[in-house]
């Protein structure tokens, strides 16, 4: 299979404009004849569904939550980047583009990233007009803060709830289209299969999570904005319901899965406190603006942090990376935290933690200023840990947060299945091997508001769509497939719960395919994952019935998919004999312990094709060309 | 630590429900209320019983999915806290807790502790937005917004749509929820053009959904996990009144 990325030629500044001009348009009167399915209602899916509705398409939007407003984008805290240069500090579209390509460790597509940087400015305008209450300066203009991996202030924010406010903006735009009759909303409905007819995506099979009813929905195109797969690790900062099922089942139907091993470990999360723990809580990266990260200089130092004098502390990020200091990118910050903890210098119970200390900032700016900037985050920290971060330093440790990998898409955001579009975190396209902070919100909204509404029109205009009704054999077959999987899960009636399997899978993956990886561990993990998956299918216990609200059954289907994905992640990590961004292979590091890329051999996107449950996926490569940002060893020193 | 949990069990919307008593052992005070239910559910599944259905997703207090009455108080005893963030530190070893779903005619119970809150979406669909199609926005700095207004708008916009305000209100009123959205948009210049129509339509929808009226009791503010105050209700009442007056003039003028 040849991967057609459809990247336009010409100067990078002109590519998107020219593409827009060259795309075919759908006549306004014809738009209402097209039905488009959008799965997921986060920043990407919600903004896409709203924008498609405004254009006049007939949209069906699906989410598994009880309301589209609860999609996990809601939990993003810190902010959203845009190259506005409102602060006159030297920002530009090119600089945002440059920072993002470099931050992604030269494993993303230049053309996509440039377009993202270009459209970033429109996103802010759109959100302000919707009434998103961004932080303001006293003169009434928009305020900015800094984020990791950048030396300019380009991050727009609404306290520590930026994702919430942006999502509510998109959700309100979506509800406006529901009110106008352009969008039909299907909450509490989970997509369980993709329907491909004559090689093109023509619908989905869903399960109504209240009644258990399995249904088929027909459309001319299907859009997946279903987020990332970080929950494969069980413990992550993702919402409990976040899952890979929609993209995985599309993968099984022929969509290639790109760079699955590129996962992001967020450096500032609250450390794990016990075995019962159900999720990890992120502390926004924005805290690194004012917090200083340190550990005791010597291992085994059990003194209270206040008892440790300055010269016995190691502010290791400031020491090793003087120009970026505490604001190095996430992968670098995480790896360094792991390193100091592995050296036995970690703090807190279990020694898996480092201090994030605000004492200096409080002395410099006063407690009120810090409260204004981070008040809600400090409260959240105290609620969880019972410690007051105004008085004692926070303890933080890295946790799985975001997945850069996802379904492969071309420049038009279309997967290898014609008519199947993938947007936001669910695709692989813009962040390479590491995502910079405040770029996820930017990408989700960019795809949904400003890219997909154009590119999907081109697809609809160029193709003819025969009428299909849900009695079509492909639909029946997909429905039967879903039905038999459900019945199989319910009939095993083994001895272990879904969660216990999931927890074990997550630990395996975290140990061998987490913050650092090596060939031996990955090979071991592949074998163990296969064994555990076999056990799962003969020993899992799923209570209740299929015709009912059954949360165990929902989880069981998702975990079944996580098993297959976990194996692919390990294979991808094993084949990529280099370190880059979030993918750190211990065998490939510089003498200082930094990631060592191998551009000659691995400057490509690894896109995997499904070959059946017990057969390893086939690898396809999309070579990456860097015309504008020349690959170099990333340096934040 | 151990807790005695009395939990509302109801198989589906049509079935009658009842309180059931469970002993949850092996808990830790660092756990959240929902993690305690996880522990109980694992045990119920192992015993071959149906686990307790409850709603949850982000488990960090922002998605608004979770919520239950804990000893008669929406989201339990800790102020400005969602159920997922309520740690067991707030309870004594061996304490008895009564867990019930939100009770309101407009929030029918679907199963156990899960209720249907779709009425909130319909209230937002009735004008809880600024009509600005994608692509039609001016530059973000074209209209300055005074910092204080932006901050107050943010205070109101912090609503997570959990429904605790309705559950706590003796009238099951949606005044705090509706008022928060109306206030958020009314404080910003972008919200002005549709301000009147928004107030009229959203309030009408709230009535249509079967929520009760507000009689200024203030329970909603006391349980709101985001600390939204009843002044948003006053602001909504003012806008509703002004809008009704303007509408009356329009009707009299024969418009």
The pair phi, psi for residue A192, each rounded to 5°, is -120, -10
Mean residue pLDDT across chain A:
95
Answer whether residue B254 shows pLDDT above 70: no
Q: Do B240 and B218 share a structural domain?
A: yes
d(CA B146, nearest CA chain A) in Å: 5
Residue range of the domain that includes B33: 3-110
Residue of A115, A159, A292, A330 marked catalytic: A330
Chain B CB contacts of A544 below 8 Å: 50
- Average pLDDT, integer, range A11-36: 97
Say yes or no: ipTM exceeds 0.95: yes
- Average pLDDT, integer, range A304-309: 95
- Average pLDDT, integer, range A182-205: 98
CB contact under 8 A, A131 and B116: no
CB contact under 8 A, A453 and B134: yes
Answer whether residue A598 shows pLDDT above 70: yes
Q: Do B154 and B59 share a structural domain?
A: no
**Which among B59, B78, B140 has the least Cβ separation from residue A278?**
B59
Q: Do B160 and B192 share a structural domain?
A: yes
Q: Do B188 and B228 share a structural domain?
A: yes
- Average pLDDT, integer, range B207-226: 97
Burial code of B207-233, b = ≥16 C-beta within 10 A, e = fewer?
eebebbebeeeebbbebbbbebbbebb
* Residue bearing the bigger pLDDT, A146 or B10: B10
Among candidate residues B85, B110, B135, the one where a domain is terminated: B110
CB contact under 8 A, A549 and B111: yes
Cross-strand partners of B4: B23, B96
By CB neighbour count within 10 A (0-12 exposed, 13-18 middle, 19+ buried), where does A602 fall?
buried
Chain B CB contacts of A179 below 8 Å: 125-127
Chain A CB contacts of B137 below 8 Å: 122, 125-126, 128-130
CATH number at residue B216: 1.10.1060.10
Looking at domain A473-600, which CATH architecture does it have?
Answer: Up-down Bundle (1.20)
Chain A CB contacts of B177 below 8 Å: none
Q: What is the pLDDT of residue B67?
A: 97
Q: Do B137 and B106 share a structural domain?
A: no
Mean residue pLDDT across chain B:
96
CATH number at residue B30: 3.10.20.30
Q: What is the pLDDT of residue A329?
A: 87
Domain count, chain B: 2
Burial code of A379-404, b = ≥16 C-beta within 10 A, e = fewer?
bbbebbbeeebeebbbbbbbbbbbbb
**For the segment A384-433, what is each residue's pLDDT rounded down to a tens digit?**
899 999 999 999 999 999 999 999 999 999 999 999 999 999 999 899 99
**Which among B45, B81, B120 has the least Cβ separation from residue A552?**
B45
**For the segment A331-373, what is each residue's pLDDT rounded down to a tens digit?**
889 999 999 999 999 999 889 999 999 999 999 999 999 998 8
CB contact under 8 A, A133 and B60: no
Among candidate residues B53, B76, B110, the one where a domain is terminated: B110
The question of whether A330 is a catalytic residue gets the answer yes
Q: Do B224 and B144 share a structural domain?
A: yes
Q: Which stretches of A3-92 are DSSP H helices?
A: 15-22, 28-31, 43-55
Interface of A with B in 322-361 (CB under 8 A): none
- Average pLDDT, integer, range A193-209: 97
Answer whether residue A635 shows pLDDT above 90: no
Q: Do B131 and B100 share a structural domain?
A: no
Q: What is the pLDDT of residue A377?
A: 87
The DSSP output letter for A326 is G
CB contact under 8 A, B45 and A497: yes
Chain B CB contacts of A548 below 8 Å: 11-12, 111
Chain A CB contacts of B144 below 8 Å: 136, 139-141
Q: What is the pLDDT of residue B252?
A: 62
- Average pLDDT, integer, range A271-283: 90
In whole angstroms, what is the distance from residue A41 CA to residue A71 CA?
6
Looking at domain A265-401, which CATH architecture does it have?
Answer: Alpha-Beta Complex (3.90)
Q: What is the pLDDT of residue A286?
A: 84
Task: State the pTM of this model.
Answer: 0.97
Q: Do B176 and B153 share a structural domain?
A: yes
CATH 1.20.58.100 maps onto chain A at 473-600
CB A103 within 8 A of CB A149: yes
In whole angstroms, what is the distance from residue A199 CA to residue A373 CA?
52
Answer whether residue A314 shows pLDDT above 70: yes
Q: What is the pLDDT of residue B255?
A: 46
Answer whether residue A218 shows pLDDT above 80: yes
Of A27-31, A197-201, A524-528, B243-247, least confident by mean pLDDT is B243-247
Answer whether residue B6 shows pLDDT above 50: yes
Integer Rg of chain B from CA? 21
Q: Do B247 and B127 share a structural domain?
A: yes
Of A244-258, A267-281, B212-226, least confident by mean pLDDT is A267-281
What would the two tokens of residue A109 be? 């597509």
Q: What is the pLDDT of residue B251?
A: 59
**For the segment B20-56, what is each residue's pLDDT rounded down to a tens digit?**
999 999 999 999 999 999 999 999 999 999 999 999 9
Nearest alpha carbon to residue A104 among A434, A444, A580: A434
Q: What is the pLDDT of residue B136?
A: 95
**For the segment B233-243, what is each residue's pLDDT rounded down to a tens digit?**
999 999 999 99
How many percent of chain A have pLDDT more than 90?
90
**Which among B60, B146, B185 has the least Cβ separation from residue A131?**
B185
Answer whether residue A149 shows pLDDT above 80: no
In whole angstroms, what is the distance from residue B49 CA to residue A271 CA?
33
CB contact under 8 A, B188 and A133: yes
Answer whether residue B253 shows pLDDT above 80: no
Q: By CA distance, what is A449's nearest residue in B?
A: B134
CB contact under 8 A, B134 and A50: yes
CATH 3.90.700.10 maps onto chain A at 265-401
């Amino acid at each position: 299979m040849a991967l057609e990325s459809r990247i336009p030629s010409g100067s990078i500044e002109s590519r998107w404009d020219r593409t827009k001009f060259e795309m075919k348009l759908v006549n306004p009167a014809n738009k209402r004849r097209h039905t488009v399915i959008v799965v997921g209602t986060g920043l990407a899916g919600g903004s896409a569904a709203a924008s498609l509705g405004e254009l006049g398409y007939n949209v069906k939007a699906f989410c598994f939550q009880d309301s589209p407003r609860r999609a996990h984008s809601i939990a993003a805290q810190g902010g959203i980047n845009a190259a506005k240069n409102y602060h006159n500090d030297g920002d530009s579209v090119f600089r945002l583009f440059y920072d993002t390509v470099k931050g992604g460790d030269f494993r993303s597509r230049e053309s996509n990233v440039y377009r993202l940087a270009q459209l970033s400015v429109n996103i802010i305008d759109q959100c302000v007009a919707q009434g998103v209450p961004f932080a303001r300066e006293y003169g009434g203009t928009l305020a900015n803060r800094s984020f990791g991996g950048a030396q300019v202030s380009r991050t727009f924010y609404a306290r520590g709830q930026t994702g919430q406010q942006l999502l509510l903006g998109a959700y309100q735009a979506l509800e406006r289209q529901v009110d106008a009759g352009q969008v039909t909303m299907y909450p509490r409905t989970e997509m369980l299969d993709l329907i491909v007819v004559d090689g093109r995506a023509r619908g989905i099979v869903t399960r109504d999570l209240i009644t258990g009813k399995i249904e088929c929905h027909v459309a001319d195109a299907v859009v997946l904005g279903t987020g990332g797969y970080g929950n494969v690790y069980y413990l992550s900062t993702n919402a409990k319901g976040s899952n890979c099922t929609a993209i995985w089942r599309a993968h099984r139907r022929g969509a290639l899965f790109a760079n699955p091993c590129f996962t992001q470990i967020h450096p500032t999360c609250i450390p794990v406190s016990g075995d019962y723990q159900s999720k990890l809580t992120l502390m926004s990266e924005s805290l690194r603006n004012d917090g200083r990260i340190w550990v005791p200089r010597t291992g085994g130092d059990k003194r209270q942090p206040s008892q440790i004098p300055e010269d016995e502390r190691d502010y290791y990020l400031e020491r090793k990376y003087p120009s970026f200091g505490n604001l190095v990118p996430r992968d670098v910050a995480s790896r360094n935290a792991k390193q100091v903890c592995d050296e036995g210098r970690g703090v807190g119970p279990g020694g898996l933690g480092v201090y994030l200390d605000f004492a200096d900032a409080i002395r410099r700016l006063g407690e009120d200023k810090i409260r204004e900037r981070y008040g809600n985050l400090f409260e959240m920290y105290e609620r969880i840990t019972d410690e007051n971060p105004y008085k004692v330093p926070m303890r933080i440790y890295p946790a799985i947060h975001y997945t850069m990998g996802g379904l492969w898409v071309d420049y038009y955001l279309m997967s290898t299945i014609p008519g199947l579009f993938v947007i936001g975190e669910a695709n692989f396209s813009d962040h390479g091997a590491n995502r910079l902070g405040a770029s996820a919100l930017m990408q989700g909204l960019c795809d949904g508001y400003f890219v997909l509404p154009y590119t999907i029109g081109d697809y609809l205009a160029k193709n003819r769509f025969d009428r299909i009704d849900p009695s079509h054999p492909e639909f029946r077959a997909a429905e039967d497939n879903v039905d038999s999987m459900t019945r199989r899960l319910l009939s095993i009636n083994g001895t272990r719960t879904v969660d216990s399997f999931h927890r074990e899978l997550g630990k395996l993956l975290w140990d061998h395919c987490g913050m650092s990886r090596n060939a031996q561990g990955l090979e071991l993990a592949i074998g163990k994952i296969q064994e555990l998956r076999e056990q799962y299918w003969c020993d899992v216990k799923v209570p209740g019935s299929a015709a009912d609200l059954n949360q165990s059954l929902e989880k069981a289907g998702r975990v079944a998919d996580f098993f297959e994905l976990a194996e692919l992640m390990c294979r991808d990590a094993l084949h990529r004999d280099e370190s880059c961004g979030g993918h750190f292979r211990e065998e490939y590091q510089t003498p200082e312990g930094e990631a060592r890329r191998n551009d000659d051999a691995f400057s490509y996107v690894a896109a995997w094709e499904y070959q059946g449950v017990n057969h390893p996926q086939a690898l396809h490569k999309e070579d990456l060309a860097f015309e504008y940002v020349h690959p170099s060893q990333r340096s934040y020193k | 630590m151990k807790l005695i949990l009395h939990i509302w069990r109801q198989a589906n919307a049509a079935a009658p429900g009842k309180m059931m008593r469970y002993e949850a052992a092996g808990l830790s005070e660092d756990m959240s209320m929902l993690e305690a239910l996880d522990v109980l559910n694992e045990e119920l599944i192992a015993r071959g019983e149906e686990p307790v259905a409850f709603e949850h997703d982000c488990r960090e207090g922002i998605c608004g999915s979770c919520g239950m009455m804990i000893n008669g108080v929406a989201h339990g005893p800790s102020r400005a806290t969602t159920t997922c963030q309520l740690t067991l530190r707030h309870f004594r070893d061996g304490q008895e807790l009564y867990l019930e779903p939100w009770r309101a005619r407009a929030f029918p119970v679907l199963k156990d502790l899960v209720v249907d809150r779709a009425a909130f979406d319909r209230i937002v669909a009735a004008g809880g937005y600024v009509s600005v199609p994608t692509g039609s926005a001016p530059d973000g700095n074209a209209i300055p917004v005074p910092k204080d207004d932006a901050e107050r708008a943010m205070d109101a916009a912090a609503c997570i749509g959990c429904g605790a305000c309705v559950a706590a209100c003796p009238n099951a009123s949606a005044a705090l929820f509706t008022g928060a959205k109306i206030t958020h948009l009314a404080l910003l210049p972008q919200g002005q053009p549709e301000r009147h129509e928004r107030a009229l339509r959203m309030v009408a929808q709230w009535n249509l959904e079967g929520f009760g009226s507000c009689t200024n009791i203030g329970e909603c503010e006391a349980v709101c996990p985001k600390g939204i105050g009843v002044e948003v209700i006053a602001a909504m009442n003012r806008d509703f009144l002004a809008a009704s007056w303007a509408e009356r003039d329009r009707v009299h003028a024969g418009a």
